[in-house]
Every structure is written in structure tokens, then in C-alpha cells.
Amino acid sequence: MTKALMNKPQWIKIIALSGALSVALGAFAAHGLQDSLSETYLQTFRTAVLYQFLHTIALLALVSLPDSALNPRHQAWAAKSFLLGILLFSGSLYALVFTGISALGMITPLGGLAFIFGWMLLFTAAQTTDKKLD
């Protein structure tokens, strides 16, 4: 029996916090920022929320898959990559909007690469098995 590489309860807590933050930031954008930000910055903020929420849901799905369905090492790295993507991609966009420091936009593509890497790790994590997936 292989030792689990993911502490699923810890990941569920991280996912829950990210999901709650996504909803709160989305509501903040819709109700608190629309009059104080330019349309460009408001759209940037919404993009950050969208990518955070989508990858939060992806993390939830990834962590919820049966252990027998994925290579545990690749699963763990895919989850870490998604989380890093949220922090770098969405985090840099949030910081850009609130500070106006355009150089922060140079961090955003690194987050995008982390997302892509996470999806590719998920692809490689899939393993064929004779066991029925529950």
C-alpha cells in the first residue's frame, strides 16, 4: 500500500478558503468596485476572480478523485501547481488592480504557466487500473 502524498483534509480547508474568498471578491467587484475602478481594472479583477474560482473547483475535483485513479505524486504536484497558479495569476492581478503598479502584471504569466503545468500533471497523473472507480 502506498503512502498518501496528499493530506486531503488540509487541502479541503485550503479549497474552502479559496472558494469563500472567490465568492467574497466576486461580490466585492460587483457591488463595491464598479464605481471606483476603470472598466479595464474592473475586468482585470473579474478575470482574477474567474481563474481563482475555476481552479478552486478544479482543486476540489482533483482532491476528491479516488486514490486509485491517479498517480499520487503527480496528483500532489498538480494540486500544488493549481494553488501556485491561483497565488501568482490571481494574486498578481488583485495586487495590480489595488496598487496600480503595472510591473506586477509580469508575474501573471508565471501563474498561467503554473495552471498549464497543473493541467499537464493531471494528464500524466491518470493511470489505468483494473479496479472499478467509485
Q: At what angle do helices 39-64 and 8-28 cross, to 10 degrees?
A: 160
Is 130 within a domain?
Answer: no
Does residue 44 lie in a domain region?
Answer: yes
* Percent of the chain at pLDDT exceeding 90: 78
74 belongs to a structural domain: yes
Q: Is residue 80 part of a domain?
A: yes
Q: What is the pLDDT of residue 1?
A: 41
Per-residue pLDDT, 128: 55
SS3 of 112-127: the string is HHHHHHHHHHHHHHEC
State the Cα angle at 23 between 49 and 89, rounded to 5°. Answer: 20
In a domain, 76, yes or no: yes
How many domains, the chain?
1
Which structural domain, as residue segments, surrounds residue 40?
A: 8-125
Whether 1 maps to a domain, the answer reads no
User: Residue 134 pLDDT more than 50?
Assistant: no
Any domain includes 3: no
Rounded CA gap, 12 and 58, in Å? 12
Residue 133 clears pLDDT 70, i.e. is over it:
no
Residue 84: inside a domain: yes
What confidence category does residue 68 fall into, taking pLDDT thresholds of 50, 70 and 90?
confident
For the stretch 23-64, pLDDT in tens is 999 999 989 888 888 999 999 999 999 999 999 999 999 999
pLDDT at residue 5, rounded to an integer = 78
What's the CA gap between 6 and 70, in Å, rounded?
12
